[in-house]
Structure formats: C-alpha cells, structure tokens
Amino acid sequence: MQRALLIAGPTASGKTAYAIERAQASDALIVNTDSMQVYDVLNVLTARPSTEELAQAKHELFGHVDPAVRYSTGAWLDDVAPLVREAAQSGRELIFVGGTGLYFDALINGFAQIPEIAQEVIQEVEAVIQPMSDDERAAYLADKDPKMAARLNAPDPQRVARAISVMEATNRSLADWQDDDNAPSLIKDWATEKIVLNPERELLRARIAKRFELMMAGPAMDEVKALLARELDPSLPAMRAIGVPELAAVMRDEMSLDEAMDKAITATRQYAKRQRTWFRNRMKDWRWIDPFE
C-alpha cells in the first residue's frame, strides 16, 4: 500500500531535521506543507531548509513561488497532485512537512470547490484586518461571518481574510462552501502516519529567539532589501512574512534593529501559539511527540 508520513508542528519545532531523518531511512520525498516556505527570495526569513539540508534528501515545493503571487491552498494542491501521482506509480513514500494546518486538512479531507475570489476583494479585506489584534479580528469575523467564527479556534490573519473575502465575494459563508461535497482527498486509501511535533513551551520560545538571532547574522536583511526593490504590494503574503515588515521599518529608519528583532520574535511566538491551538483542536487523533526528549 502507498505510504505517506505527515509531520506538522509549530515554527521552530524541529520539523526539518525530523523529516530529513525519516526521509533518509526510507528514501522518501519531502514535500513542503508550509504556506510561507513556498516563496522564493525568503530563504532565511521563512526558515526554509538550508542548501546543506536540501542535499540530504529530495525536497519539492520549497521556494518555487514568486513573491508577487498570492499563493493559495488550492494552488498548493494543484502542485502536489503530480507528485502524488508520480509517487503512486513509483511506490516512493511521501513525507509532507510544515506548519500550515489548512494544507494538511485539504490534503487529507479534500478541498471545497470555492469560486475564485477577485484580488481586489482580497486586498481590501486584508487592508482592513491587517492592523487588528487577535481579539479585534475575532470580533470582526464574528460580525461578518458567525459560522466561520465558530469554526476558527485561532483568529489567524490569513484565515480570517480568506473567510471574509469569500463572504464578500459570494454572499455565502466559507463554512457553507466547506460543507458542500469537496474534491476528493489526494491521498485517499493511502496508509498514513500523522505526527505533530510538540516541544516543551519554554524550549520552543528559546528556539524561536535563537533562530531569529541566527537569521539576522545571515542574509535576512538582504532578503528584505531584494523584496523592497521590487516595489511589491505590501499586502502580499510574502511581504507580510514575519520579519519582513519589521526589517523594512529598520531600513526606513522607523525602528531600531533591536526593536525590530524584539517585535519579530514576539510575532513568531504568537504565531507558534496560534499554530498549536489549531493543531490541538484539529489534530487530536495525531501522534504528538517531543522531538527533543
């Protein structure tokens, strides 16, 4: 039977090392399942596998999307489909690894066939919710789409924007679209092993801080300069990647480097907390392990 290993976990939880270890043991193909690591240019700031790590096992869908593109779950599934077909023909195991719960959900359960939403609608919604706090986003979603507000356990900006954009464009809740018949799972009938990496909380917080310090010792600032030089729409997902707005503010002399690092580290920790909340609510039946024990 065809096999797939699914490895989820919050940012900085050791997913890359764990996936490579498992891939080397089975000659598996590692498939990126993280919505930020798909983007080109942001090699360091999205914590993509390094050149050395990429050489240790075969990887796909890392850095293959231009930062000017608004990549979506549907686009990711379209990119994954030929990899699944090839693996089914060759018998090679696939390892899906990342921190984007919605990608895993779509992979396992299929994906709602929602009409394409105009970019203008998405941009308008993103501009409204971007400055909001978690509580403000949750309240705004509850007002606009109470059905989706009840389903989203963490008011992640991207998911809130998606829900409100669908409501604005179709006059129908995303929850209703999701309840319709989905396209079938890409790995239906596969044997799957599902793992959530769950480090101890304080260790994860320390790893997040240390990792961002290492990013700053590398070419993180150069990555942001490269993005800014293209004069891209600041509402694009790649332009909102943690670290990009903060370092851009440093370049505009609006913030000190120390302040930018503190803000980015805090934002990363908050993101990890939202990821864990999503995993706890949606991946209860997965095997939870601490990779550092």
The answer to the question of whether 101 is labelled as a binding residue is no
The answer to the question of whether 12 is labelled as a binding residue is yes
The answer to the question of whether 9 is labelled as a binding residue is yes
Distance CA 54, CA 160 (A): 33
Which residue's structure tokens are 């669908």?
166
The answer to the question of whether 10 is labelled as a binding residue is yes
Phi, psi for residue 82 in degrees, rounded to 5: -65, -30
Residue 219, classified by CB atoms within 10 Å of its CB into exposed (0-12), middle (13-18) or buried (19+), is middle
Angle between helices 119-129 and 157-170 (to 10 degrees): 130
Amino acid at 82: P
The answer to the question of whether 170 is labelled as a binding residue is no
The answer to the question of whether 238 is labelled as a binding residue is no
Which residue's structure tokens are 């999307």?
65
The answer to the question of whether 98 is labelled as a binding residue is no
Distance CA 262, CA 92 (A): 43
Q: DSSP letter at 117?
A: P
The answer to the question of whether 147 is labelled as a binding residue is no
Binding residues: 9-16
Binding residues for substrate: 11-16
Binding residues for ATP: 9-16
